[in-house]
Structure 1
Amino acid sequence: MTGAMWISLATCAGQLALAGLALARVGRSPLALPLSLLSIALSTWNFTHFAMERSDEPAWRLVGFAAALMTVPCTLHFSLAFVGRRRRSAWAMFGTYAVFGALATAMLVALGTPALARTILTLRFGLTVTALVVPPLGGAFALLVWHLRGARRPDERARAGLVVLGLTLLVALLLTELAVELGLRQVPRLGNLGTLLGLPVMAIASLRFDLFGRDETAPRMALHAVVLAGGGVLAYLTGFQLFAGETGVLVMFTTAITFALLAATRRGVTAYVTRGERMERLATLGRFSAQMAHDLKNPIAAMKGAAQYLKEEHARGQSWDGHGEFLDLMLEQVERLGRVVDTYQRLARVEPLPRPVDLGRLVETVLSLQAFANPGRVVLARQLEADLPPCAGDADLLANALENLVRNGLEAMPDGGTLTVRALRDGTRVALEVRDTGDGMDARTRERAFDDFFTTKASGSGLGLAFVRRVVEAHGGEVVLTSREGHGTVVRLRLPVDTGHTDEGARGEAA
């Protein structure tokens, strides 16, 4: 075999390994799905390059063309997810998938339709495809470069720089193959070399710079994926030996091997990921249990003390007539335990019991408690608008939501700063707002901030902001988060006004 054929096979194996690593994180990281699809498309293109060199069969040219085209929507998808615009620009992403998916399907259909194949492999069709390729790829790289220039943290700059370099090598150099197909013979074919050089760059971004988040098992997962991918390439070579003259059978065989390989890689890699996530969930459950134990411990201790005292009095033959306050204390603590249990049940179900809530008083209560926990490096400020109408809500749930936001704000400023809590009017609604002067969030963190179990903290549960969102939505309100690296974070909870208060105020004005 030639050197180019060996390069194609090695790159194919590497791309399959990267696809397996990414597939195991699908559903847990927004970058995983587009990177796995991109890697599968690139591995397919590299294999077709090998197949054309080995068999000189023109049908592989159409398969390779289809695979190369699918790298365009995958690149746009990955770029939008990386810069935190995946949800806002979903229309562009799905539209690009639809257009290039249709083109790729047409090329695969042309495998059995010679007339359609002759139409596709023309200069006019190539120029049309080029005109379609430029806008999504240009937009994707423009977003990445803009994000790179705006990144403030060194690790994010390094990560963004590697992604720009990796995608340039993997995708942009693949366009040289299209140029040659269009008849520009003076343009060198750099797609094969680009995919080979871009592979380690993306692998470093994924493993060394935590593209999918922190994962201590990543090296072992990578080794597992590489071994399986190497086995897959050996299976490809075996298929070429067995079915060298039967293109249709060979395509089906290699497709089956690819899917089996990806399934095995995902299963093996997922085992590592699941074990780590299970430990994280157990740690979260432990922290939740510790908080519940703390809330239950005080009333139980008070009841125990009162019961022990009354028992000792009874053992001495003393009457309980003069110790009614101890019985009252025990009853109070039983009621307190009932309230704690009810609160935790409501926290789990997020079922508000709406009553008029004075947001100014709620802020004062929460901040008075946080003042004892605050070590003093953070200045706590409050801005309470006068004559603010009450909110229709559950004071306990809203207090828990506000405490989560205040605690997040304090943790975002370990070296000190100012935390400002506001109660204000917001159009026809009232609002609670928490503003910190910390480092702020990058685009990816901002887009996923309210997702369940998503956290950037080593000891975080990923439940805080998700709980805040559920509480506010259960009240018929909405949460607005504004954050930028180096400029802090602002979270505003927009809540409905108590309609009973509004009606009474309107009747008072009319009188």
Structure 2
Amino acid sequence: MTGNVWFSLVACAGLLALAGIALARVGRSPLALPLSLLSITLSTWNFSAFALERSGETGWKLVGFAAGLMTVPCTLHFILAFVGRRRRSAWAMFGAYAVFAALALAMVAGLGAPSLAERLLTLRFGLTVTGLVVPPLGGGFALLWLHLRRAQHPDERARAGLVMLGLTLLVALLVTELAAELGLDVARLGNLGTLLGLPVMATVALRFGLFGRDVGAARMALHAVGVAGVGVLAYLAVFRLFAGQAGALVVSTTAVTFALVVATRRGVTAFVTRSERMERLATLGRFSAQMAHDLKNPIAAMKGAAQYLKEEHSRGRPWDDQGEFLDLLLEQVERLDRVVDTYQRLARVEPLPKPVDLNALAQGVLSLQSFASPGQVRIVRELAPGLPPCSGDEDLLANALENLVRNAFEAMSGGGTLTVRTLRDGAGVALEVEDTGEGMDARTRERAFDDFFTTKASGSGLGLAFVRRVVEAHGGEVVLTSREGHGTVVRLRLPAGVRHLSTGEGEAA
């Protein structure tokens, strides 16, 4: 076999290994699915080059063309997820998938229709495809360039630079192969791009935390390399056994491909799952510690009162003048009942509506915050006078505000200014928390309110998600504005006036 054929085979297995690493993170990182799809489509293109050389079947050229077309929407999907515009630009992403999937299906249909294949593999069709390829790829790379220019953190700049380099090598140079297949006089640089781009993308995925906090990167890489080596041997064995049997060749190579993906995914998932299990246990431990803290004080007070009354009883003294201790016991029992009820409603987010003065609520939450970080964080109150009340659950809203304030303090570990505002917002009212901390990058900003998403080693990922659920349960919305190096502003918009909430758990006064 020629050097190019060997390289196509090795690149195919390597890309499938990268796809397996990404597939293990699907559902946990928005970057995982597009990277796995991109790796699989690129692997299919490399495999088609290998199969064309080994079998001589011209149909593999159409398969390679179809795979090359599908790299365009996969690349756009990955870039939009990387720069934090996946939700805002979903229309462009799904539109690209629809257009290029239709073109790819047409190429596959050409396998059984030689006349259609002849019309597709023409310069005219190639120019049409080029016109469709340029806008999504050009727009995607422009967004990636702007993200690189705006990135403040050195790690994010390095990550964005590597992603741009890797995608340029893997995808942009692949266009030269498609153009050459259509008869254009251009140098074929696709193989060179794969040779250089694959290690770049593997480095950014394993070394620069593309999917967040990953552990065991070295072990994952070794597992992927081992699977890739087995894949190379499996492909060679398949083509040696079924070189002259087209049907058996397709079935066998497809089986090998799926086996590679599954084996890589299962191996990598074992490493990832172990880490995530530890994170969940740590989150449960922090939640339990907070509950224990809330229960400990009333239990200690009850114990002290009970011990005192027991001592008085053992000495034969009457309890006639000990009513304050009995009152204390009853008060602490009621306090325990409120704590348990609060934790139940925290999980269900069931508001008990009544008129709430946001100014008083903000003052109450901030009254003790100055002791949390003395001399480091300056607290500024900007409370609008004459603010109308809103209908809501004061305890839940206070907990939401406490979460925002705590996040702001954590974002300003070296000091800064925390500003809490109340203001009118259209027909409603709003509560706003602003910090002068390090801010968020685009990907963090897009996922900030997702359940269990956190960038902090000791975080649970429940704080901002809880804030969102509380505000939405009150018929409001949360708006987050943040930029790296410029702090974060979170605004809670709430309807003004006294109204019934949809939960049915209580009625407005």
Query: TM-score normalized by structure 2?
Result: 0.97
Q: 1:61-82 CA deviation, whole Å, 9 max, x = no partner?
A: 1111111111000000000000
Q: Partners of 1:179 and 1:313 in 2: how far apart?
A: 96
Whether the 8 Å contact between 2:480 and 2:489 is mirrored in structure 1 is yes
Counterpart residue type for residue 197 of structure 1: L
Q: 1:162-207 CA deviation, whole Å, 9 max, x = no partner?
A: 000000000011111122123223x221101101110000011111
Structure 2 partner of 1:425 = 424
Does residue 269 of the first structure (1) align with residue 229 of the second (2)?
A: no
Percent identical across equivalent pairs?
A: 80
Counterpart residue type for residue 459 of structure 1: S
Structure 2 partner of 1:325 = 324
Q: Partners of 1:8 and 1:181 in 2: how far apart?
A: 16
Task: Give ranges in structure 2 of 5+ residues lacking alignment.
Answer: 501-509
Q: Partners of 2:472 and 2:428 in 1: how far apart?
A: 14
Change (3 A) 1:303 1:237: same
Q: Partners of 1:386 and 1:407 in 2: how far apart?
A: 25
Structure 2 partner of 1:149 = 149
Structure 2 partner of 1:415 = 414
- How far has the Cα of 1:115 moved from its partner? 1.0
Q: Partners of 2:251 and 2:95 in 1: how far apart?
A: 29
Structure 1 partner of 2:339 = 340
Q: Partners of 2:85 and 2:252 in 1: how far apart?
A: 38
Greater shift, 414-423 or 250-259, is seen at: 250-259
SS of residue matched to 2:367: helix
Structure 2 partner of 1:45 = 45
Whether the 8 Å contact between 2:387 and 2:424 is mirrored in structure 1 is yes
Whether the 8 Å contact between 2:349 and 2:473 is mirrored in structure 1 is yes
Structure 1 partner of 2:295 = 296
Structure 2 partner of 1:111 = 111
Structure 2 partner of 1:505 = none
Whether the 8 Å contact between 2:122 and 2:183 is mirrored in structure 1 is no
- How far has the Cα of 1:466 moved from its partner? 0.2
Equivalent residues in 2 for 1:307-322, closer than 5 Å: 307-322=306-321
Q: Partners of 1:34 and 1:370 in 2: how far apart?
A: 43
- How far has the Cα of 1:500 moved from its partner? 6.4
Equivalent residues in 2 for 1:25-64, closer than 5 Å: 25-64=25-64
Q: Partners of 1:179 and 1:5 in 2: how far apart?
A: 20
SS of residue matched to 1:498: coil
Counterpart residue type for residue 394 of structure 1: D
Q: 1:447-473 CA deviation, whole Å, 9 max, x = no partner?
A: 000001111111111000000000000
Q: 1:315-362 CA deviation, whole Å, 9 max, x = no partner?
A: 111111111111111011001100111111110110000000110010
- How far has the Cα of 1:375 moved from its partner? 3.1
Q: 1:460-495 CA deviation, whole Å, 9 max, x = no partner?
A: 110000000000001110000001111110000001
Q: Partners of 1:439 and 1:469 in 2: how far apart?
A: 22
Q: Partners of 1:251 and 1:103 in 2: how far apart?
A: 22
Equivalent residues in 2 for 1:75-154, closer than 5 Å: 75-154=75-154
Structure 1 partner of 2:506 = none
Q: Partners of 2:434 and 2:173 in 1: how far apart?
A: 45
Structure 2 partner of 1:378 = 377
Q: Partners of 1:445 and 1:419 in 2: how far apart?
A: 21
Q: 1:195-247 CA deviation, whole Å, 9 max, x = no partner?
A: 11100000111111100011112221222222122212211111101111122
Q: Partners of 1:80 and 1:29 in 2: how far apart?
A: 13
- How far has the Cα of 1:113 moved from its partner? 1.1
Q: 1:406-465 CA deviation, whole Å, 9 max, x = no partner?
A: 000111111111000001110110110000011111100000000011111111110000
Q: Partners of 1:105 and 1:229 in 2: how far apart?
A: 28
Equivalent residues in 2 for 1:470-481, closer than 5 Å: 470-481=469-480
Q: Partners of 2:345 and 2:361 in 1: how far apart?
A: 18
Q: Partners of 1:353 and 1:56 in 2: how far apart?
A: 73
Structure 1 partner of 2:238 = 239
Equivalent residues in 2 for 1:451-470, closer than 5 Å: 451-470=450-469
Q: Partners of 1:130 and 1:299 in 2: how far apart?
A: 71
Query: TM-score normalized by structure 1?
Result: 0.96
Structure 2 partner of 1:439 = 438
Counterpart residue type for residue 50 of structure 1: F
SS of residue matched to 2:248: helix
SS of residue matched to 2:421: strand
